[in-house]
Chain A
């Protein structure tokens, strides 16, 4: 890995620079002229893709952190050990940049600490989300810090933090359960606005279960990308465990998706919503259920059974897309379904630009961390990381 100017400007880095530059321009516009100048949000549609994608999908797809750390440290599945640090790094960056993305969406972003320290609206599920996410970002930061501390050589602090792994892992699962489900619970307050096929008293359960699938799928999907782009940074353990990690996550995801499919069917049964399946929204609901829940479940199952890594990887793409589609449906597509077409929301290109900007920031930061710090490999001086 040479460091001279010529090889720094790889196609990936050029694209990154372009996106970052554009993002800075859009940022300036947003804060100079207001939210209305860069978004298509209005009084009927107060939440758009900055909430539906950046917040909802960002949090769901960062779930790999609690899934892998619980598997390894709580359920004793040591073969996932090499997957924990990459997943925790992804999770920490994911949550951190959710807060960054919120800065764009909030009317008074500097007042974000208000609900925690100044005026606690405890009747609100958004309060719950905010409190949990704030706490969890802190937990993730501490869980992630050994990678940085090893890089910096702060042995004593690093050894102290490592001893906190068990309580932090448990706290991480508790906090994740609460806020993943509360993100779904946000929509309980608006039964008139969310299409009956998606509205349910069990929205929190649906969101929590699918977050586990999101986490497992992202571990596989990200692992695939990392293997292509950062293979030379991976140590022997990581490479040896990689396939086992993928198949293990696939096995779990497959089974959870089956359970998720069942509880969705049960929910429609209990609300007697069958007639909605024969509508346009119903058709889209079936696409989500069969194309992005049943199908990945089956692809994962087949991939594990036949030890077919490629199939598992394809399934993980469907798994990730399924989460994105579900969060989009609940927050934007099935939300406000009753409004006439002229009043529906579609994101502006500038909104999309900001979202791409934030995702690029995450990827770039991840690349920096994984290149410089012991995430994909174990630091030779700290081999006891268990």
Chain B
């Protein structure tokens, strides 16, 4: 693809900015349409011949190391490859049923409208730029690799063999080049115009146009129009995209998938302390009431015991008094009886010598009255 062709395409395509803009919905009533001038790439795999010149161009433009197998060696296409830390893009070969020829498809970062990697990154190392590219800042990266978990297309790669500064590696949509008005390296080198660079909205229009014009050539689906909330890299295919190794990805974007859980977090902060303080308050109140009831019971028991003790004391004192009185009575009676007896004896003793002259022993009983 050369610049002239590209510019003419741009002019000819017409601008359809409002047509079918991909909307992402979440956060109450807000909708988001993405950057209006976001660029993208349309990959038409019906045109791809698997020459791998795009792979070579990418490596040159990004100063990637030379691969083990040369780019013109097409036998590598016999095995499925994926991107890795030194390979930002790969072309794979697919033998599909019902076709007498294989289909080739290029794979790289899809530069999503709502990138999962950016959503997942806890240190803001990924940015969706207004030009549509999603770029990575290795100076911030902590190396947690959550972006790799998050990406539905399995794009980001990691330099596992670097002990000091392992970075995430992926396609940049040649962000520095497109800022200068140049084409991405792969788009520029493609000899078959299987790659078209332009505004995303325009590319969607072109893709729909191709499908409309040649319905027998194309599957009626632009992969990337809605997948994961929409991507800047769009795909046309002769067969269902899943037969070309494209993952079946729903249209919900990563921010939409996580907004519920993220929203629950502040709610917990606002509600939990209320509930927990309430639980604390209730349990303290129960303790207090239990303590009061216990104090009451103790007091009652003490009072009762005291009353019982008082009663017992009183009874004992009364009894003691009674016993004392009875004892006194007894003693008095005893003393009186003794006194009487003593008096009687004395009297008898006094009268005894007088009656000794009468020698009458039978008269004494009469004097004992």
A residues adjacent to B (C-beta < 8 A): 31-37, 39, 41-44, 46-47, 70, 73-76, 105-109, 111-112, 114-115, 118-121, 123-128, 130, 166, 170, 173-174, 177-178, 181-182, 185-193, 201, 203-204
Contact = CB atoms under 8 A, between A and B. Distances in A.
Contact of A178 (B257, B265, B277): B265
B258 A118 contact: no
B150 A47 contact: no
Contacts of B159: 107
B268 to A, nearest CB: 5
A124 B119 CA distance: 6
A87 B217 CA distance: 66
B284 A76 contact: yes
Given A108-B141, A123-B119, A190-B150, A43 B82 contact: yes
Contacts of B167: 107
A108 B143 contact: yes
The majority secondary structure among interface residues of chain A is: helix
A173 B278 CA distance: 14
B122 A126 contact: yes
Which 4 pairs across A and B sit closest by C-beta, in order of nearness? A107-B143, A76-B283, A36-B160, A185-B261
Please tell me the size bucket of the interface on B: 35 or more
A127 B257 CA distance: 16
B165 A192 contact: no
A192 B249 contact: yes
B82 A128 contact: no
A193 B250 CA distance: 12
Given A75-B283, A123-B118, A204-B261, A115 B142 contact: yes
Given A43-B158, A107-B158, A128 B166 contact: no
Contacts of A108: 141-143, 165-166
B124 A121 contact: yes
B286 interface: yes
B148 A37 contact: no
16 contacts: A32-B163, A42-B160, A75-B279, A75-B280, A108-B165, A112-B142, A115-B122, A121-B124, A121-B125, A124-B146, A126-B122, A170-B273, A173-B272, A185-B261, A193-B152, A204-B261
B97 interface: no
Contact of A130 (B82, B119, B122, B152): B122
B280 A166 contact: yes
B150 A189 contact: yes
B215 interface: no
A173 B160 CA distance: 37
Contacts of B152: 190, 192-193
Contact of A44 (B82, B140, B264, B284): B82
Contact of A119 (B118, B124, B149): B124
B122 A107 contact: no
B286 A76 contact: yes
A181 B272 contact: no
Interface in B273-331: 273, 276-277, 279-280, 283-284, 286-287
